[in-house]
Chain A
C-alpha cells in the first residue's frame, strides 16, 4: 500500500479512475475542473481574465434590475474625467474640439443676430408719428404703452402664459391664445418649470438679480419673470423685444398688488386666482405685424409696363388734343376761314365751316401745327370773305402789282404806294371796282413812271454797260453773252420810243484805246472793234442804221473805261443826220 493509498483510507484500494468517478458523484467536479478552479484561485491574473468576460454583462443586469443606477456611476465617471483633465487637458480638448467649435460659432452668431435685431428694432421703431399715436392709444385704452407697442410692432406671438405659485410650483392660473396651447399639460409643465428654475438657482448659486429669466425650447422661448410670491412664465414664439419683459413685470406687480394675501396663504385652492384672468390675457399678444412679403418682381415689371403704356397713351392723347386745339385756334384766327363746328368720327376730328378760296389751305395750317392729315379732315364750303386781309389778298390777285408796289386796305379804301409804270396804274383803275370789298382806289402814294422817264432810265442803264476784249478780238465769253442779251433788250426798249417827231435815237458804240505806241494804228484797231461789236448787235436784230461806231482815246488814266473796251452812248439826232 502506498502512502497515497494510506491517506485515502477506505478509498485507498480504489484506482485513480474509480476515484475520479466517485469525486464527480459527490461534488460534481472531476480532476480537470478542480485543477482549473485551483488555478483561478492561485493566479490573480487568470482570475481577472475570467471575471472580465462576466463583468459587463453583470453591470448591465444590475442596471436593468435597479440594483445600481447610472447616477451612481456618474460621480465615478466625473471623477475619472477630472483626473484625466488634471493630468493632460490637451487630450480632452482634442476630443471636444469638433463639438465645441460649431457650438461656439453658433453662440457667437446668435449673439450677433440678437444685437442686429435689437439695433434694427431701435432704428425701425424710433421716435415717429406712429409712436405718438400708440402713446395716445395707451392713454385712452387703459393698456400700458408697452402692450400697445408689442401688439403693433413686432413679429412674435405669446402663445401661453402661466401664473405659478413660487413656493409650491403649482399652477395658479393660465391663459393661452385659444388656438393651440403649446404646453401639453399646464400643471405639470408649471411644476417642471419651477423645478428647473430651482435647479438653476441652486446649481449655479446665482443671486436674486440673476434668476433664470429665459429658456429656449426649439422655436419657443419661455420668458420667466419672478415676484416674491408668484412667477409669470410666458411661452413666446419668435423673437420678442425686451418690451415684453416690461409687460411681464407689470403683470407680476399687478398680481401681487391684488392677491398678495392669497399668495401668502395659498393652500391649493386655485379658484381664487381667477381674478388674474385679465392680467394674464393682456400678456397674450396674438397680433402680428404683417410680415414684409417678398416683392413679386414679375408683377412689378408688368405693372410698370402697364403704367408706362398707360402714361404714354395718356400723354399721346393729351398731346394730340393740345395739337388739335391749337390747329382749331389757328383755323379760327386765319382770315378767310370760319369754323362752325367740329366733330370726332372714328378718332378723327372733322372741322366744318366756310373758306375763302384765297385763304390759306387748311392742310398747310395742320402741317404747321404738327397735326397729321390722318388725325383731321376739313369740310369747308367756299365763300367770299370780307375780312380786310382777304380783300387785300384779293386785290393783289386781281391787280397783280409789280414788286415795287405795296397795297394796303382799310375801310373800303385800297391804297397803293411805291414806284410803278403808268400803264399799270391805268389798268388798276379799271379793275379795282371788281375787287369785292374795295370801294375806292387811292394812287396818291405812287410814283408813276411816265414813258419818257422810263426811257431815260433805260438810256442811263445802257450807258452803264461796257465790254472788255482781248487784243484784236471781239469774242463774248459766257458772262458777256448774258450781259449782251440784256443790253440788246434795253436798246430795243429805247429804240421803240421817240421823244419827238423830229429826232430818232442813235446808239453810239465807243471803242476805247490809248495813245500808247502808234496812236493812228490804235485808232484803227479800236474802230474795227467798234465795227465788229456793231456786227454782233446787227446779228442780234438791231437795225444797222441806228448803230454808229466811234473811237475814243483815253486821256486820263483815271477814266472809267479801260483800253480795248467798248461802251455805249444814246443820242437823238435828226433822221437826215444819220
Chain B
C-alpha cells in the first residue's frame, strides 16, 4: 500500500472544502479547520493497478490574521493550490503559497486548481495568467465543485506525478 500526503492550499473562500467534499472520505468535522487550521480527508485512487491512499490535508485559508503553519505542509508529496477565478487577490495569495510550499516541501508536486469555472464570465483571471503558471511548469485545472468532474482528473494527475508515472 502506497500512502501519500497531499495538501490543499488557498485563500479563504476559494472553495477548497467544497471542491473536494464530494470526492473524499471524511470523518472529521469542518470545525477543525477553524480550530486547529486543518482537516484531514482521505481519497483512495487506483493508478495502473496501484492503489494509492491519499491523505488530504485541507489547510485553512491563508490570510492576514492566520498564517498557514509550515508543519502542516511539511512531508507532503502533492500540493493543490486553489485559486478563486472570480477574485484576483486569491491568485496573488496562490503565488505566495506556491513559494511557501516549495520552500517547506521541496519535493512536493504542485497542481493549480482555478475554481468556480461555472462563473467564468465573472473571472478576474485571464488566459495570460494561466499561461504564466503553465510556463513555470505547473499543471493548471479549471474546476468547479458544482458542474464538472475535473477534480477527479486532478486527483488522478497528482497521483501519477507522485508515483512518477
- Stretch of A42-50, A182-190, A321-329 on the interface side: A182-190
Interface membership of B71, Cβ < 8 A: yes
Query: In the complex, which residues of chain B have a beta carbon less than 8 angstroms from the beta carbon of A171?
Result: 3
Closest CB in chain B relative to A517 CB, distance in Å? 146
Chain A minimum-CB-distance residue to B37: A199
Query: In the complex, which residues of chain A have a beta carbon less than 8 angstroms from the beta carbon of B34?
Result: 69-71, 74
Asked if A199 and B69 make an inter-chain contact with CB atoms under 8 angstroms apart, the answer reads: yes
Asked if A168 and B37 make an inter-chain contact with CB atoms under 8 angstroms apart, the answer reads: no
The interface bits of chain A over 6-37 (1 if a CB of B lies within 8 angstroms of the residue's CB, else 0) are 00000000000000000000000000000000
Chain B minimum-CB-distance residue to A65: B13
Asked if B77 and A268 make an inter-chain contact with CB atoms under 8 angstroms apart, the answer reads: yes
Query: In the complex, which residues of chain A have a beta carbon less than 8 angstroms from the beta carbon of B74?
Result: 167-168
Residues in A163-187 with C-beta less than 8 Å from chain B? 165, 167-171, 184-185, 187
Query: In the complex, which residues of chain B have a beta carbon less than 8 angstroms from the beta carbon of A191?
Result: 5, 40, 55, 57
Interface membership of B61, Cβ < 8 A: yes
CB contacts between A and B, total, < 8 Å: 96
* Bound Cα distance from A327 to B104, whole angstroms: 105
| Most chain A beta carbons < 10 A, residue from B2, B37, B60, B71 | B71
Asked if A187 and B55 make an inter-chain contact with CB atoms under 8 angstroms apart, the answer reads: yes
Known: A167-B75, A195-B72. A187 touches B36 (CB 8 A): no
Asked if B28 and A188 make an inter-chain contact with CB atoms under 8 angstroms apart, the answer reads: yes
Contact of B42 among A187, A198, A270 (CB under 8 A): A187
Q: How many residues of chain B get a CB closer than 8 Å to chain A's CBs?
A: 38
Query: In the complex, which residues of chain A have a beta carbon less than 8 angstroms from the beta carbon of B55?
Result: 168-170, 187-188, 191
* Bound Cα distance from A271 to B38, whole angstroms: 27
| Most chain A beta carbons < 10 A, residue from B15, B38, B76 | B38
Q: How many residues of chain A get a CB closer than 8 Å to chain B's CBs?
A: 32
Interface membership of A66, Cβ < 8 A: yes
* Bound Cα distance from A72 to B15, whole angstroms: 15
Query: In the complex, which residues of chain B have a beta carbon less than 8 angstroms from the beta carbon of A72?
Result: 12, 63, 65
Residues in A506-547 with C-beta less than 8 Å from chain B? none
Asked if B72 and A66 make an inter-chain contact with CB atoms under 8 angstroms apart, the answer reads: no
Chain A minimum-CB-distance residue to B59: A195
Asked if B61 and A168 make an inter-chain contact with CB atoms under 8 angstroms apart, the answer reads: no
> Given A191-B5, A198-B72, A267-B77, 13 more contacts at CB 8 Å?
A66-B15, A69-B13, A69-B34, A74-B34, A169-B55, A170-B3, A185-B25, A188-B27, A188-B28, A192-B28, A192-B40, A196-B36, A270-B2
Please report A residues at the B interface, Cβ cutoff 8 Å.
66-72, 74-75, 165, 167-171, 184-185, 187-188, 191-192, 195-196, 198-199, 201-202, 267-271
Please report B residues at the A interface, Cβ cutoff 8 Å.
1-5, 12-13, 15, 18, 25, 27-28, 32-34, 36-38, 40-42, 52-53, 55, 57, 60-61, 63, 65-66, 69, 71-72, 74-77, 162
